[in-house]
Structure 1
Amino acid sequence: MTDATVIIAAWNAADTIGKSVSSALAQQSVSAEIVVVDDASDEDIAARLPDREEITFHRLKENGGPAVARNAALDLAKGDWVCVLDSDDTMLPDRLAGMISMAERFEADVILGNFLRVDGEGQPLDGVPFLPPEGIDPEQPVTLEEYVADNLVSRTSRSAGYLKPLIRRAFLVRTGLRYDPTLRNGEDCHLIFDALAMGAKVHIRSEADYLYTVREGSVSYRINPDHFEALIKADRAFVGRNEGRLGAQAIDLFRRRETGLRNMMDSERVLQALKSKRLPEAIRLAGQHPAALPRVARQIAEGLGKRLRGGK
């Protein structure tokens, strides 16, 4: 019997996939299999994997994004629990055992795990967990309203959507829960939206035993604005599917979330125009979307500060 399946979506991750898989193989006190789905990489991902019977490798013919790759991995999973791991991240050896123990204790369908932000060498960036442990009550299940509120897009928010889940596979089988294939960003967050709407019992674990790699910190690295547009469409589709079950508070929270997403999208378009030296276009976009200007100014200041300190 396999306790857990660790699913890893990989795209051009030849330099990091070995370390991620090794951390999954090193999990203590659980029997685990690892399913790696190569999202049509330009690199030979399979050559970087250990020759172990616990590893299943599958390559997609066309690049579909992390949601599509993870769905393919979910279809191959055999463990009682499914754990999501990014191809450039790692887990501490006791993570799976601790999450499964917590899930069984509270009869949870989903456990969301806290994490530490690290650089490409695995060194801590903040020295503290992403979510303050003292602010987490592991005994209390998360409501949909609380989870949406924790994923409002603002300067001060720390999105719970970054937390990687452990999911009971029986719940996946019973509900047919899958990732939204239209999303290339925020797909984990939307999976939990759907899980909660389907009645999942979700808890958050305070231990930061997942190491989340942050590789790009400069103004030169930007998020594709189209990804925000896809998130807005997915949010609206979710509200439409569940309108009869959503209360006024949840609907209002989704409206506030859309405002934040639109501000992020507009600011990214301004920043990309500036980066490409299309100054007239940047000025035009800034004039059309003045609410985006504070974030644009912060991003430019942070990028300049990093360069002055000798960074990228």
Structure 2
Amino acid sequence: MTPIIEGHVKVSVIIPAYNASQYIRESILSAIGQVNISLEIIVCDDCSGDNTVNIVKQMMKDDSRIELLVNNSNSGPSFSRNRAISKAKGDWVALLDADDFYHKDRLSKLIDIGEKHSADIVADSVFYVNEAGKNPVAAIHQKKTQQPLMRLTEKSFIKNDFPSNAGFKYGYLKPVFRRSFLMAKHIEYNEGVHLGEDFMLYMECLLKGGVFLLMGDAYYYYRYVEKSLSRTGDNTKYMELISNNSLLINLANALQKNDAALLLEARQQNYHELIFYNDVVKLIKGRHIIDAVKSLVLNPKVWPIFIVMMSRKITAAYMRAAIK
């Protein structure tokens, strides 16, 4: 266990907040309740229109470790995280969304692992919970033969996060980062990115040589709300994600990470397959059956995407039922 040194901040908990009054108190309390670790809590409010700021200010009166930043204009979570991280004093930076919460042992366990194994990024599994924070279901089901601690590589991270894959994506992890690593490698959130910003940051860490460890146990509680892009049929979101992925391909090429670049290009193709899937579904829903059949006949290579998307729907339905 890492010793606690008086006056020294081991970890800075970063909480971006926007209209989070329903959950922000529970989120902050879960950070305050961390055991065997010295910390500070930096909340960055993005011009909330509810009572979020007042709740945080009230909590600040009872705990001097809480700091509040308020943006001048609504600038998005990436800006808020960057601003909070720039103020951080901790050896480590921990992410926490304003509607989620920690187990009391989380930060001490993750940071002990990070320091013992000289890691730059450490994450745990995630518990999905319902809106009341109850009925936890582990997002990553560990096999008995799997090591309790595994290193995520560029390849394993990209392969897990192909957009059509069913199951939990590593981009949803909420790691702790060694702050000196982020500073030395000049890594921060891309403030022009509004979808998949976490995946992009984690990939940049890996491409720049970060040691990323994942432990099998879950200590992070994530309020599960299904956000299925395919369900909405909104291809504009996929086009934005394609643009983001192109930035990663360029970075991988610039760093001469050829294998990672090839996998990212395959990931790009998967996005185009999902766009095709959405287009066919729209034709079917619009009762343009002949046009839908023609599209399928002319594009047999993308038939497997329909099987994959059915698997995703089944997985999502199971998750909703499990946490009710």
1:213-270: CA deviations, max 9, x gaps? 1134799985964443232212212221331544543223112211333344565678
Is 1:240 aligned with 2:250? yes
* Aligned residues with identical type, % of pairs: 26
1:236 & 1:187 partners in 2: Cα distance? 13
User: Could you tell me which amino acid in structure 2 is paired with residue 9 of structure 1?
Assistant: P
- 1:87 paired residue number: 98
1:87-136: CA deviations, max 9, x gaps? 1111100000000000011000100221111110112253x342426475
Alignment of 1:74-153 (within 5 A): 74-124=85-135, 126=137, 128-132=138-142, 134=144, 137=147, 139-153=149-163
After superposition, the Cα gap between the structure-2 partners of 1:112 and 1:136, relative to the gap in structure 1 and judged at 3 Å, is farther
Contact 1:219/1:302, CA 8 A, preserved across alignment:
no
1:206 & 1:305 partners in 2: Cα distance? 21
2:230 & 2:271 partners in 1: Cα distance? 20
User: Could you tell me which amino acid in structure 2 is paired with residue 156 of structure 1?
Assistant: A
Per the TM alignment, residue 60 of structure 1 is displaced from its structure 2 partner at its CA by 1.5
- 2:5 paired residue number: none
After superposition, the Cα gap between the structure-2 partners of 1:163 and 1:220, relative to the gap in structure 1 and judged at 3 Å, is closer
Is 1:259 aligned with 2:266? no
SS in 1 for 2:183: helix
User: What's the TM-score, normalizing by structure 2?
Assistant: 0.80
Contact 1:232/1:258, CA 8 A, preserved across alignment:
yes
SS in 2 for 1:13: coil
Contact 1:3/1:32, CA 8 A, preserved across alignment:
yes
- 1:46 paired residue number: 53
Larger deviation, residues 248-257 vs 188-197: 248-257
User: What's the TM-score, normalizing by structure 1?
Assistant: 0.82
1:306 & 1:83 partners in 2: Cα distance? 26
1:20-52: CA deviations, max 9, x gaps? 111011100001111111122222311122122
Which 5+ residue runs of structure 2 have no aligned equivalent? Answer: 1-7
2:311 & 2:150 partners in 1: Cα distance? 36
Contact 1:133/1:207, CA 8 A, preserved across alignment:
no
- 2:68 paired residue number: 57
After superposition, the Cα gap between the structure-2 partners of 1:252 and 1:66, relative to the gap in structure 1 and judged at 3 Å, is same
After superposition, the Cα gap between the structure-2 partners of 1:240 and 1:195, relative to the gap in structure 1 and judged at 3 Å, is same
CA-atom RMSD, angstroms? 3.6
User: Could you tell me which amino acid in structure 2 is paired with residue 179 of structure 1?
Assistant: Y
- 2:78 paired residue number: 67
Give the length in aligned residue pairs.
305
1:65-91: CA deviations, max 9, x gaps? 221211111111111100001111111
2:251 & 2:230 partners in 1: Cα distance? 38
Contact 2:93/2:176, CA 8 A, preserved across alignment:
yes
